[in-house]
Amino acid sequence: MKDGYIKVAAATPSVKVADCEYNVKSIKKLMKEASDKGVKVTVFPELCITAYSCGELFLQERLLEAARRGLLDIVKESKKYDGIFFVGLPLDVKGALLNVACAVSCGEILGFIPKTYLPTYGEFYEARHFVSGRDYDMWIDVEGHKDIPLTTKLIFKATNMPKLVIGAEICEDLWTMCPPSTDAAKAGATLIVNLSASDAITGKSAYRRELIKNQSARLMAGYVYASAGEGESTMDVVYSGHNLIAENGTILKESKQFTTGLIISEIDVDKMTAERRRINTYENDKEDFYTVREFLIKDEETSLTRYIDPAPFVPSSDTERKVRCEEIFDIQANGLKKRLEHTNSKTAVIGISGGLDSTLALLVTVRAFDLIKKPHKDIIAVTMPGFGTTDRTYENALALVRGLDATLLEISIKDSVNQHFKDIGHDPAVHDVTYENCQARERTQILMDLSNKYLGMVIGTGDMSELALGWATYNGDHMSMYAVNTSIPKTLVRHLVRYYADELADKKLSKVLLDVLDTPVSPELLPPENGKIAQKTEELVGPYELHDFFMYYVLRYGFMPKKIYRLAKIAFEGKYSEEVILKWMKVFYRRFFGQQFKRSCLPDGPKVGSVAVSPRGDLRMPSDASASLWLNELEDI
């Protein structure tokens, strides 16, 4: 429960058709297993107490009576465990037969949710035996359990974890135009459970997976789907027990088909509420129409088994890689294309250092020129050697520009900066911030003036990670006329350049790009040591992969610092110690708050992902906000 996590399970027991005693034993076995593994929400399949495929036997009083007795046995069993369990059974209500999901916790029946949509096609002719629960809204008694709500308008709230609110639907309900889970989410449900019995036919598992992913994304909710499997009748169809756990459009866990047992993961309900909070189109207008039943679970830390990606900005699989990288390049290039056309720019002027950011910006500019069918020679690529420039980055800059057939200009800044030192009375032997920033601003002045001379536009090279940390010289590399990398974090910059080297560049250009990737990140504003880079950014402000991780969870979800620290420890276990992670987290928060004034006047640039720092749309943050609340929490760790 700590940090908003709740452990959930989808459970498929082995069943025998119409053998309630056997089925209840199977259910109880999985209840114990789930509880032993710390699960707090366990979902079983539709009609699991009887088995789904009983057909005409559902009209037999003997079966219905056995199902009721089986439910009471499960209710009694639940006293032993901490959590809530959802089981399916047929329920006779005043002479009408309903297919219901029953919520059970700590020896109590919390409520019944009847199935709304009954399939009437093929082998699933449920309307032959059951009636829709659409219009049912009543309180009933079951074998000594009094005043139990029976309605589709029912949600379950954890009293000591109020953000955990559970809604339920049954199988076909999800496959309809207006699933009941939509209204449940509008009433506050952050987790939807689905008790299902879905058959296995070719292609259906992929469709089912996408359906659950999309519903969880649409509702900004967790979704636990448990389906019938082994033991169901195979007279006409086969049930595969295909179980899934999803969260806001991501599949966290999926069972293999034709297996029984549990799949377990953790739903982050804090993440769901944060997501809803930032989307102002999210509707929450149904709460007054719903009955809320509360249940209690023990306060304890939830052990995490779900994967925590150390690089949340980077595509997670090779199959995603090409599509995602091409899309990002296209967004950047088309944004620049529009700006070049609108301003009637004859050229693009870009400073090339031989580093990662300017390399990506040049690659994007080349693609934009291809889109508007302008020759690469109209790209004015300027290398401006200074006091910190090394042979390696200088040679890579030259080779990169030549390899892309752009126009190369070389303008040393040493004499002009030395003159500027004289003008302002600065001792060039003092390698302080003035020494560094004078060089950065001189380079920007050169680029701006060249853009006037060549009727062009200065293309910004700085990335989002630098902007988050304020690692940019104000009105130096901080400024441009269009900043193509403004929403690309450093970890993604590296990934995009690697993709270009592997997939799009010829052998000669690829070699250059790979050497750029292998070069330490540096502004090269301090003199080299023995011909090598002396000023390594990540030694000064910390590893960018850590800062990108922090930035993602701070800006995307607004997580508490302690929660981000916990996730970082898991994601970077074995690579960074807890002390190192905490050290750089403090640096991140101090710099993120202290450097907002630089982000408040950023040039235009294209947004490519869900996290961005533009002051016009994504991060309207005061430049003088205090970081004390966040830093104080870190001090308490």
Residues labelled as active-site residues: 46, 115, 171
Degrees, nearest 5: CA angle 265-269-274: 135
How far apart CA 253 and CA 268 sit, in angstroms, is 14
| Residue 191 Cα to chain centre, angstroms | 17
Rounded (10°) CA dihedral 47, 53, 56, 58 = -10
Contact 585, 634 (CB under 8 A): yes
How far apart CA 229 and CA 14 sit, in angstroms, is 7
Contact 551, 413 (CB under 8 A): no
How far apart CA 19 and CA 51 sit, in angstroms, is 8
The token duo for 299 is 């306060």
Burial class for 437, CB neighbours closer than 10 Å (0-12, 13-18, 19+): middle
How far apart CA 477 and CA 598 sit, in angstroms, is 11
How far apart CA 407 and CA 457 sit, in angstroms, is 15
How far apart CA 266 and CA 491 sit, in angstroms, is 27
Within 13 Å of residue 489, how many CA atoms lie on the same side as its CB?
Answer: 25
| Spatial strand order in the sheet of 261-268 | 137-142, 145-151, 108-114, 96-105, 84-93, 41-43, 5-12, 261-268
How far apart CA 578 and CA 582 sit, in angstroms, is 6
Beta strands in 175-229 (DSSP E): 191-196, 222-227
String of b and e for 160-169 (b: at least 16 CB within 10 Å)? ebebbbbbbb
How far apart CA 376 and CA 347 sit, in angstroms, is 9
Q: Phi and psi of 310, rounded to 5°?
A: -70, -15
- The β-bridge relationship of strands 407-410 and 222-227 is unpaired
Beta bridge partners of 158: 161, 295
- The β-bridge relationship of strands 250-254 and 244-247 is antiparallel
Q: Phi and psi of 476, rounded to 5°?
A: -115, -115
- Give me the long-range contacts of 498-504 (CB less than 8 A, separation at least 24): 499/321, 499/322, 499/325, 500/325, 500/329, 500/363, 503/322, 503/325
How far apart CA 482 and CA 614 sit, in angstroms, is 13
